[in-house]
Structure 1
Amino acid sequence: MRTYGKRFLRGAADKATKQAAESRDAVLWDILLSERVCRCKIQGSNELIIARFSQNWATVPEWAKPGQAVRIAHRGGVRGYIEVVGFGRAIPTPVSGSATPTPSTPDNAILAGCLLKAIPQTPGMSVYVTTGRARFSGVEYAVPAVAMATGSAFKMNMGMAMGDVAGVFNISAPSVGQFRYDLFSLSPSLVVTKTAGAAFTTVESKPTLPSGHLLIGYLLVRGGQTVITAADIGQSWSAPVPASIATTATDNGTAWNIVASVKDQYGNAIATPLGWNLAATIASGDGSIAPANGNTGSGSSFTFSYTEGTAGTLVNIEITLSQGDYYAYGQALLQL
């Protein structure tokens, strides 16, 4: 009778070999994510070894950084297949050359501060940029403060602390109905600069960042604007649409003229070729208003007439615009 003991033993040995995972420490040199491989160096060698990493890596783990000690293994006992399996215990020492890769120069960047802000006290057509820290060519620098001196745009009554201001800039408004972006940037010589863009009406246009500069931010300036507040900082342009209705009421004795003007999101009067349809209703109080509905025509406003009711009454008249996708609201408060 034949026995199969040797065959069983051989099969068990082969199975154990395939399950074995010979491992050792290595230093991670670089990662080629698109190829699903990385390069490593091991103890006593200056050669770069190709090692694969788990197919479960959708992104590179936080610990897998160049210069990090990792553990590599020969999966299934196949010496030609090497895989990174996790943290290493120690960084190996090569026979020659560096034990770790040379760190790459970090990108130029603003690290802290350098914020574009509105003047906090006595605001007008000016903005300022705060001091901060920036990195150029791998070196960190402190962005210096400007002095408050005769002829400087930095004034005592602006409400900013000395030592916190890297630059103050006067802003000019474009013509009514136009918009403009002004760009603020930091040069390699640590000077904050302003680059004025071209005025536009219906197609957004931004100035180009000067070569070598770091972007601080953009300021959108509206046509006819007379003051810049904190609400204007960081504002982005969008096509003007009806956003509110401003009212002006004039007392003519027993009747009032109420002029309702349609404004866009920038506070400018806005018109449309077919005109805006406005409706007026008395929300509280008495009296009468005529007409109940009106169209602005080629302009942006319409005048309603209110006839007084009970003397001494506070009357609230609501004006609404509801036209297609647009809606706007306004009100007039009349003390009779």
Structure 2
Amino acid sequence: MRTYGKRLIRGAADKATKQAAESRDAVLWDILLTEQVCRCKIQGSSELIIARFPQNWATVPEWAKPGQAVRIAHRGGIRGYIEVVGFGRAIPTPVSGSATPTPSTPDNAILEGCLIKAIPQNPGMSVYITTGRARFNGVEYTVPAVAMAAGSALKMNMGIAMGEAAGVFSISAPSAGQFRYDLFSLSPSLVVTKTAGAAFTTVESKPALPSGHLPIGYLLVRGGQTVIAAADIGQIWSVPVPASIATTATDNGIAWSIVASVKDQYGNAITTSLGWNLAAAIASGDGSITPASGNTGSGSSLTFTYTEGTAGTLVIIEITLTQGEYYAYGQALIKL
């Protein structure tokens, strides 16, 4: 009778060998993300050893950083296969050279603060930039505050706390119907700078960042704007579209003139070559309004006439724009 004892023993040994994993500490030197491998150094050697990522790593873990002690395993059964399996216990000592890689210089960046803000009290066409911290060439700096001195743009009646403003800037508005982006940036000498962009109407344009500066942010300025409020900070330009209908009611005796003006999302009057189709209806109260609907033509407004009804009534007139993909709404309130 033939026995299979030797074959069974050999199979068990091969299986045990494949499951075995000899491990040791190493220092992670660098990561080659595209190849899904990293390079390490082990105790008593200055040679860089190639180690693979585990197959279940979707991304590189937070702890896998150059200079970190890691545990590498020499997988049995696969010749020359080395894999990073987790944290190491100690950083090994090489034969020569540094035990850890030379850290790279971190990118220049604003680390804290340096925000664009509206003037808290007596707002007008001005903004200020807060103090903060920034990094240039690997060194961290504190962005200094401007002094409140004679001739300074920083005034006591602005409501800005002492030491809070790194710069105060006056903003000019472009012509009616136009827009402009102003860029605020921080120079390597820690000076906040404003770079005004070119005015535009239908194609967005932003100023270029000065060489060596860190970007703080953009401020969108509208044509005819007179006050910069907190809601204006961080606003992003989009193509003007009808957003609301503003109304003005004038008493002419027993009849009222109601001027309905189409406004865009920035509060500016907006026109179109085909004109806007407006409809008016009495939502509450009595009387009559003419016309029931009409077109603004080449302008942005249309005048309706309301004829009075019962004295003492509060009349609510609704005016709507429904045209293609656009919709806008407005009201006129009249107390008889």
Q: Same fold (TM over 0.5)?
A: yes
In the alignment, is residue 292 of structure 1 matched against residue 292 of structure 2? Answer: yes
CA offsets per residue over residues 188-239 of structure 1, 9 Å max, x none? 0000000000111110000011111111000011111111111111001111
Question: Does the 8 Å contact 1:36/1:55 carry over to 2?
Answer: no
5 Å-filtered alignment, 1:141-156, equals 141-156=141-156
Moved more, 129-138 or 18-27: 18-27
5 Å-filtered alignment, 1:1-336, equals 3-336=3-336
Q: Distance in 2 between matches of 1:154 and 1:72?
A: 59
Structure 1 gap segments, 5+ residues each: none
Q: Distance in 2 between matches of 1:301 and 1:208?
A: 38
CA RMSD of aligned residues (A): 1.2
Question: Does the 8 Å contact 1:181/1:218 carry over to 2?
Answer: yes
CA offsets per residue over residues 70-99 of structure 1, 9 Å max, x none? 111111244511111111121111122111
Q: Distance in 1 between matches of 2:217 and 2:150?
A: 28
Question: Does the 8 Å contact 1:122/1:157 carry over to 2?
Answer: yes
SS of 2:162 mapped into structure 1: coil
**1:280 positional shift:** 0.7
Q: Distance in 2 between matches of 1:249 and 1:94?
A: 86
Q: Name the amino acid aligned to 1:279.
A: A
**1:184 positional shift:** 0.2
Q: Name the amino acid aligned to 2:108.
A: N
Q: Distance in 2 between matches of 1:30 and 1:18?
A: 28
Question: Does the 8 Å contact 1:69/1:90 carry over to 2?
Answer: yes
Moved more, 268-277 or 11-20: 11-20
Q: Name the amino acid aligned to 2:44.
A: G
Q: Distance in 2 between matches of 1:18 and 1:112?
A: 52
Q: Distance in 2 between matches of 1:243 and 1:76?
A: 69
**1:176 positional shift:** 0.8
CA offsets per residue over residues 120-140 of structure 1, 9 Å max, x none? 111111010000011111111
Question: Does the 8 Å contact 1:183/1:207 carry over to 2?
Answer: yes
SS of 1:210 mapped into structure 2: coil
CA change 1:95–1:283 in 2 (3 A) is: same
Moved more, 10-19 or 46-55: 10-19
Question: Does the 8 Å contact 1:249/1:332 carry over to 2?
Answer: yes
CA offsets per residue over residues 157-176 of structure 1, 9 Å max, x none? 11101100000000011111
Question: Does the 8 Å contact 1:22/1:77 carry over to 2?
Answer: no
Q: Name the amino acid aligned to 2:325.
A: D
**1:54 positional shift:** 1.3
Q: Distance in 2 between matches of 1:276 and 1:51?
A: 68
Q: Distance in 2 between matches of 1:253 and 1:105?
A: 77
SS of 2:94 mapped into structure 1: coil
Among all aligned residue pairs of Structure 1 and Structure 2, give the percentage whose two residues are the same amino acid.
Answer: 88
Moved more, 281-290 or 5-14: 5-14
Question: Does the 8 Å contact 1:21/1:77 carry over to 2?
Answer: no
**1:7 positional shift:** 3.8
Moved more, 6-15 or 250-259: 6-15
Q: Distance in 2 between matches of 1:106 and 1:310?
A: 75
Q: Distance in 2 between matches of 1:40 and 1:320?
A: 70
**1:304 positional shift:** 0.3
Q: Distance in 2 between matches of 1:305 and 1:17?
A: 95
CA offsets per residue over residues 237-289 of structure 1, 9 Å max, x none? 11110000011110011110000000011111111111101111111111111
Q: Name the amino acid aligned to 1:321.
A: L
Structure 2 gap segments, 5+ residues each: none
Q: Distance in 2 between matches of 1:74 and 1:154?
A: 66
Q: Distance in 2 between matches of 1:276 and 1:161?
A: 48
